[in-house]
Structure 1
Amino acid sequence: MKHLTILVPDVQTGPNTLSCIIGSYHIFTEANRYYSLNNKDQIFTIELAGVTKQSDFVNGLLAVMPQKDIESIKKTDLIIIPAITPDFRKIEGKNSLLVTWVSAQYRKGADVASMCTGAYLLASTGLLDKKSCSIHWNAVVNFKNLFPKVNVKPEKIITDEQGIYTNGGGYSFLNLLLYLVEKYYDRPTAIYCSKIFQIDIDRHTQSDFIIFNGQKSHGDEMVVQAQEYIEQNFSEKISIDELSRKFTVGRRSFDRRFTKATGNTPIEYQQRVKIESAKKELETSRKTINEVMYEVGYSDVKAFRDIFRRITGLSPIEYRNKYSKIPHN
């Protein structure tokens, strides 16, 4: 039988940390039970492991008492890292022991899966360097600044590379759990769990959940002014050359500073601002797709549709049908 270790962090926890821990334990326990009902050997021994006898969550409202100290687990097959605090800067407290232990276990052959902002802990091991990683869309800029060697894929629900799995934000960790159940058990067990826990199976993107808010805490005042200009005039045709001249900065230097500060090129930033405005109109108004398109500064239907789909993962019509409750003729 394989061994599954669900990590219980010492500090830097939040409500979603507990959700990830309980969700992982619940779903893998149910997968084991389903296997037993079908006269198959259970796949995993499941244990919660940490570095203290008790970890407190939600300002001490709830607590988890790990079954094992990680140092007592000499060999495991799969490690699950739950979400941690989203305002991460560096590993704190005894969580550093978790980082060291995860690195050692991966070298021994264990697979490692991080959930949402658990990617911060995983990236602190160095194991994500030059690998793909998903994380909550709201943590992308901070994560990229801290771990520039990681290939961040914020549009992905799940990444799978060399025995390392990551997933996007919020409760999309449930999709990662189904993915792992299918990988370690089989497809019928994953489908069973999806039905028991009422989780949509085979979701591949979180793009349509992303709310674009231009990151302005980077400290480059010129870029902040350029961002605000784009946001205030997004429906107009803004030339990046003219924008760079407006701020008396050469085009190459402007592009470099803007991209470094925001994580987007100036053109990408323009597109995201336009599409975010279009999304809000599609959610809340009765305007036609063409009316929305013109209002946000596009005149080419195909270009608008292609950019909208690239950013959200859906066509404008699909997005409206999914998120608007306003009846349309």
Structure 2
Amino acid sequence: MTKFIHIVIIDYPNALQSAVQGFRELFLLANKVIKDNQLEIQFTVKLIQPDKDLDGMSRHDIVILPPNLDGHYYLSPQPGLLQYLNDAHQKGAILCSACAGAFILAKTGLLDNRVATTHWQLADDFNELFPKVSLEIDCLLVNDGDIISAGGLMSWIDLGLELVALFAKPHIMRTLGKFLIVDTGKREQRYYGSFTPKFNHGNKQILQAQHYIQANYSKTLNVSVLATLACMSERTFLRQFTNATSLKPIQYIQKVRVQKACELLETTPQSFERIALNIGYDDVNSFRKVFIKIIGLSPSAFKARFV
């Protein structure tokens, strides 16, 4: 007897239509692979618009919030949609989001004290709006059981494949990935991110220190030098810098230097050893460890993937 997995995709205003339709087509293609493998499972897909179709919906297994393309609906979704998501979750549906869809999911309160991810460029806004959510911005996909979130705009593909693996079989997902010519191996969002410092915090002394770091990242930098520049004690500077930037000074400096290294790896033929020396590291192996910790790839693997 065939088991049907009922999926609902929320086609909210300004949702990314390539993802809305792409999800639907991915699951239809998965059904063909499932049939070829003689498994008694089928995905059913329904697209619903929150201003028309929320009333009288029957029980479903998966509800998906796709990425946002334009506009600000994801920041202020209608209360009816939030209630719908809460009701679906209470009835046992797995709630899923991709990219900015996580904002809608977080608005329900269901992500409070839970782990999630969203697009790396939206991290600061998300943290400010939803401080109770533990944001794992380096992760491309966070599967927290009954709630699954994915990062960037195209992470809907990773989310779709994850659901195929969960509800069908992992080998069905891999077969589907081969057919789509999509990488089904483990990826992380931090491979693709770039460090964008916070400059709009209003602390002029800390801003001065940040500007100094940007212009002098290849020089010897430490809390003592920066605190003197900001006319503060080291303790006061450490506290105010961390509050303003959400990073400790050493973490901030490392991210600036790693960002510069990524840019040089992508745009110049310089070796990593030469780059390390040029941006202020005498110990190349030490900087290699910092690079891997922040990016998640070795310098050679980064260059092979992106250059």
**TM-score for both structures, normalised by structure 2:** 0.92
Residue of 74, 84, 87 corresponding to 1:101: 84
Unaligned stretches of 5+ residues in structure 1: 54-68, 325-329
Identical-pair percentage: 29
Residues 134 and 158 in structure 1, CA contact (< 8 A), matched pair in contact too:
yes
Deviates more, 1:133-142 or 1:83-92: 83-92
Which position in structure 1 is the counterpart of 2:134? 151
1:22-171 matches, cutoff 5 A = 22-53=21-52, 69-84=53-68, 91-92=75-76, 94=78, 96-171=79-154
Displacement of 1:114: 0.5
Residues 50 and 98 in structure 1, CA contact (< 8 A), matched pair in contact too:
no
Residues 228, 133 of structure 1: alpha-carbon distance in 2 compared, 3 angstrom cutoff: same
Q: How many residues align?
A: 304
Residues 86, 167 of structure 1: alpha-carbon distance in 2 compared, 3 angstrom cutoff: farther
Displacement of 1:93: 5.3
Q: Deviations over 1:10-38 (max 9, x none)?
A: x3x25xx2122112111111112322333
Local SS of the residue matching 2:198: coil
Residues 83 and 117 in structure 1, CA contact (< 8 A), matched pair in contact too:
yes
Displacement of 1:106: 0.9
Residue of 158, 163, 186 corresponding to 1:180: 163
**Separation in 2, partners of 1:142, 1:235:** 30
**Separation in 2, partners of 1:162, 1:89:** 26
Deviates more, 1:119-128 or 1:82-91: 82-91
1:134-283 matches, cutoff 5 A = 134-283=117-266
Unaligned stretches of 5+ residues in structure 2: none
**Separation in 1, partners of 2:67, 2:242:** 28
Residues 79 and 110 in structure 1, CA contact (< 8 A), matched pair in contact too:
yes
Local SS of the residue matching 2:41: coil
Displacement of 1:224: 2.2
Q: Deviations over 1:165-186 (max 9, x none)?
A: 1111121221121111101111
Residues 112 and 163 in structure 1, CA contact (< 8 A), matched pair in contact too:
yes
**Separation in 2, partners of 1:51, 1:34:** 31
Displacement of 1:222: 2.7
Q: Which amino acid aligns with 1:8?
A: D
**TM-score for both structures, normalised by structure 1:** 0.86
